[in-house]
Structure formats: C-alpha cells, structure tokens
A and B are shown apart, each in its own frame.
Chain A
Amino acid sequence: GAVVSQHPSWVICKSGTSVKIECRSLDFQATTMFWYRQFPKQSLMLMATSNEGSKATYEQGVEKDKFLINHASLTLSTLTVTSAHPEDSSFYICSATQTSNQPQHFGDGTRLSIL
C-alpha cells in the first residue's frame, strides 16, 4: 500500500517551455503533498507544501510564480515549472501523506533537463 506515482519520469525540453509534473496517490487519499528538489549528490530541499483545496505554502526563496502548484483533489497534485531555463534543471520529487502523523510516501521523481 501507500503508492505514489509521479509522471513523467524524465523530461528534456527547450528553454522557455513550461513543464507540468503530476503526482498521484494511487491507493490512499493524500491530504497533504510535498514537492522537493534534489541537486546531484545532495539531500532533498523542500520547495512547497500543498493541501487539497488550498493554496500551496512555499519555502523561503522558492518563487511561487515560477513553480505553480495545484492540488485539486485528494489524489493529485501538479507542479508546473513555467518558462523553464537551464538553471531549473534538477530532480524533482513529490511525496504524499494521509494525515500529519503518518509517514510521507515518495514518488519516483522526475528528472528535468532544460536545454
């Protein structure tokens, strides 16, 4: 149980393109979803926390207009990287949790490469 699916797993696109990443909880309802960014050989950096039906809460230094998050249902959250540039290239990982004292379950990540 507690499976989180993330799609796509790998994206290569031109600079200036907007890219949407989906995160789905397959067998549970996720009241909260999280979006992380991971640079090579580094730990995870929390970008934002998303609650169903509410606006996402962004961490300091993360541009909300650059990284649009939508959490429209209890099983789906999306991250859209708008007008992506090479510096946005990274590994993006989502996680989901059913309640606050339950563990976060992670998707398999999306590798984004901007040319």
Chain B
Amino acid sequence: GEDVEQSLFLSVREGDSSVINCTYTDSSSTYLYWYKQEPGAGLQLLTYIFSNMDMKQDQRLTVLLNKKDKHLSLRIADTQTGDSAIYFCALGSMNTGFQKLVFGTGTRLLVSP
C-alpha cells in the first residue's frame, strides 16, 4: 500500500523560510495535499498539487514535486509565529479513486520570535 513519511519536527526563526518535506511510495497518479492543524482544531487545507505538476505557488506557499524521487516539499516564505502548527502531507491515489487519503505523521513547525 501507499506510505507517506515526514520529518517530525522543524524549528525556524520568524522571518525565515520554512521547508517541510514529505516522501511517498505510490506510483500511480495522485493528488498530494498539504494540511495545517492548529492545537485542538481540525485540518485546514493549504494547497494541493496533482502528480503531473512540478510546482505550485500560492502567496507565501510554494509546493515542489520531484516525481522521480517521489518527494514533495512545502516552502513557507517569511514564516510568522502564527504559522506554528502541525503540517500534514496527504496522498489521494487513483488506485482508490482519489478518495481515501493516506496521511504522513505530521511535521510540527515551531516558529520563534
């Protein structure tokens, strides 16, 4: 089955860029999502990319996809303290009709002033 892996923790200073990484094993066409979870809350969709794309940019967020290495990254420019949260990478595979998401373990981002 599909597997999604993320590093557990990232610490940056306010104003720096943050890069959160994700690797996956699925070889079919997939949607790849980034969600943000603040303490005690649900998941907020940040952005997503289809596996035939290389890059997507949305304001401070840039998603890069290396299809060969099955590596996805989320770059947050000018990181703010309000960006502190857990970031989940998730994969929706064509094998399951794009419906069932496989989540990574989540990366806890800590932004210090």
Q: In chain B between 15 and 35, which residues have their CB closer than 8 angstroms to a CB of chain A?
A: 31, 33, 35
Residue of B nearest to A94 (CB): B42
B99 close to A109 (CB less than 8 A):
no
Q: In chain A between 49 and 74, which residues have their CB closer than 8 angstroms to a CB of chain B?
A: 49
Q: What's the count of A-B pairs with C-beta under 8 Å?
A: 47
Are A111 and B40 also in contact (CB < 8 A) when A46-B100, A103-B48 are? Answer: yes
A97 close to B99 (CB less than 8 A):
yes
Per DSSP, are chain A's interface residues mostly helix, strand or loop, or mixed? strand
Of B53-61, B68-76, B77-85, B103-111, the one contacting chain A is B103-111
B10 part of interface (Cβ distance < 8 Å): no
Q: When chains A and B are docked, how far (Å) is the Cα of A104 from the Cα of B103?
A: 12
Interface flags for A1-17 (1: CB within 8 Å of B; 0: not) read: 01010100000000000
Residue of B nearest to A45 (CB): B103
Interface flags for A28-57 (1: CB within 8 Å of B; 0: not) read: 000010100000001110100100000000
A106 close to B35 (CB less than 8 A):
yes
Q: How many residues of A contact B (CB 8 A)?
A: 23
Distance in Å: Cβ of B98 to nearest Cβ of chain A: 5
B12 part of interface (Cβ distance < 8 Å): no
A109 close to B40 (CB less than 8 A):
yes
Are A103 and B33 also in contact (CB < 8 A) when A43-B104, A43-B105, A109-B41 are? Answer: yes
A106 close to B97 (CB less than 8 A):
no
B101 part of interface (Cβ distance < 8 Å): yes
Residue of B nearest to A9 (CB): B40
17 contacts across the A-B interface (CB closer than 8 A): A4-B42, A32-B99, A34-B101, A43-B88, A46-B100, A93-B43, A97-B99, A100-B98, A101-B31, A103-B45, A103-B48, A104-B45, A108-B42, A109-B40, A109-B41, A109-B42, A111-B40
